[in-house]
Amino acid sequence: MKDYITFLFRVWRLSFQGGWRFYSWMTVLTVLSLIGLRAWAVQVVDGLQTTGLTNQVSWGAYIANFTFLVGVAAAAVMLVIPAYIYKKEHMHEVVLFGEMMAIAVIVMCLLFVTVDLGHPDRFHHMIPPFGVFNFPGSILSWDVIVLNGYLLLNLHIVGYLLYCRYRRQAPTKRFYIPFVFLSIAWAVSIHTVTAFLYVGLAGRTYWHHPLVPSRFLASAFVAGPALMILTFQVIRRVTRFWIGDEPIFTLRMIMTVAMVINMFLLGCELFTEFYYPTQHAAAAQYLYFGLHGHSGLVPWIWTAIGLNTLGLGLLVAPVSRRIFGLNIACVASFIGIWTEKGMGLIIPGFVPTPLGQVVEYLPSLNETLVCLGIWAFGALLYSWMVHVAIPIMNGSLSAHPNFSPNPANPSETL
Amino acid sequence: MSDDSHHDVSPKTIEQVYKPLTRRTFLKGAAASMVGMAGLMAALKPLLELEKGEITLEGLLRKHYRELGPEELRKIIGLISEKTEREYGVRPNLHDRKPSEGVEFGYALNLSRCVGCRKCAHACLKENNQSRDDASDIEMSYIRVLEMNQGAINLETSTAYYNPTAVPQKDKYYMPVQCHQCRQSPCTKVCPVQATWQEKDGVVVVDYDWCIGCRYCMAACPYDARRFNYKKPTIPKQAINPNQGYLSNRIRPKGVVEKCTFCLHRTRDGKYPACLEVCPTGARVFGNLLDPDSEINYVLNNKRVYILKEDVGTLPRFYYFFDK
């Protein structure tokens, strides 16, 4: 116990030690987070009139970002599966980074849901025994369970493995392997349940079809690995932890397959909506071509389709066997999927309204600042975790510093 | 990227990673913490403008409506009345009429008669204590009147934003839509905290003190019947309707969802809903579905009845019918 407190204290101290690059990066992120916090405080005082939302379009940028990020969090499973099921050694080196990303991103998801609430002060109404939990009726109550469960699972796995590494002990398998396997199924569940949030609404024809969960997973397994590939390169450049090309190219393969499936499913969706258009295709009509003279999302969705097509093209072509080409593919796919799956999925659910009215939505400045703040906070959290984890992972910080570190294979116990 | 493998990744020694605490680093840390705290306070400063009494301990600990005993409810009614008086200058007659045995409300609207004057939508605003500052406040009315093109019942080509000099317009007919008080209500099913439910007389209500404002019910509703308080209602003293029901038209706080309750503070007292009373053409019929001799049952049994979005399976208690 005393050891553990020392460990926490050292991690705390470690959080504030770094070069000027580290300090400037963290300062920028902190300032952005505080700007977002302030924007949210304004929203709490004035109500959601500070957003661009209306009675017709009652969910917007917050829920769009939430939906996208649940996918990114779930994508950690794309490191866990190769590492633990296919026993790929090189994935073991990086799996902790994926799990840390899942933690940071789930926290972002929870923040996005919280800022969307009209009464965040009543958050405890969702938490038994203080509240009345509508389980199993409400899919949102399922989502609360799976998201928090996934957060706890990853916190446990990451925390336990790092602490063992710090103590130079081999981790006890039964303390983490069952949780690792549980987290695989759980990762799929978080994104499926999030998709069911929408699919379960029979009155919203744009969402009410069985392809949504499959597309959610496919696009998540593009966006998540894309972000990992980019961040892994940052980690190997600026920290004392070497990540080889192997995990990066394993992720490329995963991304490619997922992107092919995603685009195929998109094709199926477009065929269903437009080959024989019914009234149920009105939302798709609005999204892709505009409806009754309203076309706010048209440039948005075509940008997304352009970026995703570019991403797909680069991924299947030999050009992405080189890091530079791969990076372009990652940036294009990540932004493309964020665009399509965020606003491109949420807003057409409300336009036209179930009564056929077209009311367009544009996020307000205050709303955008809140979103920006949460993104910055997520980046801050992830940077902090990586920053304190690396000295533990590469052996420079340990409970027994006189012990000779073993840099040859820093991940052997992970 | 092979050139990068020269990048030094061997671990630093513990001394390099983990510098000892000196007076200098301590002072630097303290200064940085001060700046950080100042930033945090600046970010949270807008919260100081929260109105007094907006977030209270009593409010945070208040139980769900259906878990309140009669004594607790009486106390809360007193608190809410005081708050209304303090903020709006009128002490309301706030009551909580319970549903009666043997009553299930139903509503039918005669599409042959409706002329689209929107008197119902405006009466709804007044009856239910909603803001009437500018034209856009009509958005909060529980009734949307759609102007439909003759020849079909097609919502896609309808508009709620018609503005002619006189109604009815040639080649148009009108279809008011409000909460259908569904028997299979998607909105109550999705609420994560059971802040909305069906009462025994079929009315779907919201506990305004329990709703967390997630707006999932609004996404679930196929009739676009729910409204959200994006801002605090602003009503001048003389415009306030003092006859207020706990689960219906009492003045709502901002940040919660509300909806049509068939004016239960009136109808449970044997009166008609405000929208029915104001209708100049007598297009609206309201009554007890469980009473075989009621007018509503006469309409349902003898007229040509149309159910909006029957395919969604909501089994509404709101019906449309035609004369001819």
Is position A204 within any domain?
A: yes
A229: in domain: yes
Most A-contacting residue of B57, B148, B212 (CB-CB within 10 A), to test interface: B212
Residue A408 belongs to a domain: no
Entry pTM: 0.94
- Evaluate if residue B7 carries a pLDDT over 80: no
pLDDT of residue B14: 65
Task: State the nearest Cα–Cα gap between A179 and chain B, in angstroms.
Answer: 27
pLDDT for residue A72 is more than 70: yes
Q: Which residues of A touch B36 (CB under 8 A)?
A: 30
How far apart are alpha carbons B131 and B125 in whole angstroms? 8
In-domain check, residue A400:
no
- pLDDT reading at A403 higher than 80: no
CB pairs under 8 A between A and B: 235
Of the partner residues B13, B46, B222, the one whose CB lies closest to the CB of residue A41:
B46
**Rounded CA gap, A124 and A137, in Å?**
18
pLDDT score recorded for residue A28: 97
**What residue in B sits closest to A37 (Cα-Cα)?**
B43
Which residues does chain A have within 8 Å of residue B213's beta carbon, measured at their own beta carbons? 48, 117-119, 122
Closest CA to B216 of B236, B194, B199, B200: B194
The answer, yes or no, to whether residue A10 has pLDDT greater than 90, is: no
Q: What pLDDT score does A411 carry?
A: 46
pLDDT at B11: 65
For residue A354, tell me if it sits in a domain: yes
Mean pLDDT for B273-300 is: 97
Please compute the mean of the pLDDT values over residues B19-38 and round it to a whole number.
83
Q: How many CB atoms lie within 10 A of CB A67?
A: 24
Which of A8, A55, A233, A402 to mutate against chain B (most B CBs within 10 Å)? A55
Q: Would the CB atoms of A121 and B45 count as touching at under 8 Å?
A: no
Interface test with A, best of B26, B134, B190, B320 (most A CBs within 10 A): B190
Give the pLDDT band (50/70/90) at residue A133: confident
- Which chain A residues touch B191 with a CB distance below 8 Å? 134, 138, 140
Could you identify the residue written with the tokens 């009621």? B294
Mean pLDDT of B186-195: 96
Percent of all residues in chain B with a pLDDT value above 90, rounded to a whole number: 83
A42 vs B contacts (CB less than 8 Å): 46
Written as six digits, the tokens of B10 are: 């061997």
Q: How confident is the model at residue B13 (pLDDT cuts 50, 70, 90)?
A: low
Instruction: Confirm whether A235 is domain-assigned.
Output: yes
User: pLDDT tens digit string along A82-103?
Assistant: 999 998 888 988 999 999 999 9
Tell me which residue in A118, A241, A395 faces B256 most closely, judged by beta carbons.
A118
The pLDDT assigned to B9 comes to 64
Contacts of B266 (CB under 8 A, 6+ apart): B127, B243, B272, B273, B274
Nearest-CA residue of chain A relative to B51?
A: A45
Domain count, chain A: 1
Asked if B155 and A133 come within 8 Å (Cβ–Cβ), the reply is no
Contact A323 B1 (CB under 8 A): yes
Say yes or no for a CB contact (<8 Å) between B39 and A53.
Answer: no
pLDDT at position A48 is 97
Q: Which of B7, B9, B27, B68 to mutate to test the interface with A (most CBs of A within 10 A)?
A: B9
Is the pLDDT at B3 greater than 50? The verdict is no
The reported pLDDT for the residue numbered B2 is 41
Closest residue, chain B, to A128 (C-alpha): B193
Asked if A92 contacts A99 with a C-beta cutoff of 8 angstroms, the reply is no
| Residue B24 clears pLDDT 90, i.e. is over it | no
Q: Which residue has the higher pLDDT, B32 or A229?
A: A229
The answer to whether the CB atoms of B255 and A118 lie below 8 A apart is: yes
Residue A414 is predicted with a pLDDT of 43
pLDDT in tens, B295-321: 999 999 999 999 999 999 999 999 999
Q: What's the mean per-residue pLDDT of chain A?
A: 93
B156 three-state secondary structure: helix
Cβ contact A42–B46 (<8 Å) = yes
Question: Which residues in chain B have their CB less than 8 angstroms from residue A16's CB?
Answer: 29, 32
Could you tell me the pLDDT band of residue A412, with boundaries at 50, 70 and 90? very low
The residue of chain A nearest to residue B12, with distances taken between CA atoms, is A396
Q: Is residue A121 part of a domain?
A: yes
Q: What is the pLDDT of residue B10?
A: 66
Q: Looking at residues B272-286, what average pLDDT do you find?
A: 97
DSSP B117-148: --HHHHHHHHHTT---SSGGGGGGSS-EEEEE
The per-residue pLDDT for B55 is 83
Cβ of A401 within 8 Å of Cβ of B194? The answer is no
Residue A382 pLDDT class (50, 70, 90 cuts): very high
Above 50 in pLDDT, residue A409?
no
Average the pLDDT over A197-209 and give the result. 95
The mean of the pLDDT values for chain B is 92
- Is A412 a member of any domain? no
- CA-based angle A344:A116:A49, to the nearest 5? 95
Question: Which secondary-structure segment (H or E) carries B177?
Answer: strand B172-177
Residue A158 has a pLDDT of 95
In angstroms, the CA B229 to CA B258 distance is 8
Q: Residue B19: what pLDDT?
A: 67
Q: Could you list the residue range(s) of the whole structural domain that residue A80 is in? A: 2-393
CATH number for A69: 1.20.1630.10
Task: For residue B314, give the 3-state DSSP assignment.
Answer: coil
The CA distance from A355 to A171, in Å, is 58
Say if residue B12's pLDDT is above 80. no
State yes or no: pLDDT of A123 exceeds 50: yes
Find the closest chain B residue to A291 by CA distance: B156
pLDDT tens digits for A263-321? 999 999 999 999 998 989 999 999 999 999 999 999 999 999 999 999 999 999 999 99
Nearest to B1 among A45, A140, A245 (CB): A245
Q: Which domains, from first to last, does chain B contain?
A: 105-322 (3.30.70.20)
- pLDDT of B4 > 50? The answer is no
Q: Nearest CA to CA, how far is A302 from chain B (Å)?
A: 24
Please tell me which of A261-270, B16-25, B37-46 the model is most confident about, judged by mean pLDDT: A261-270
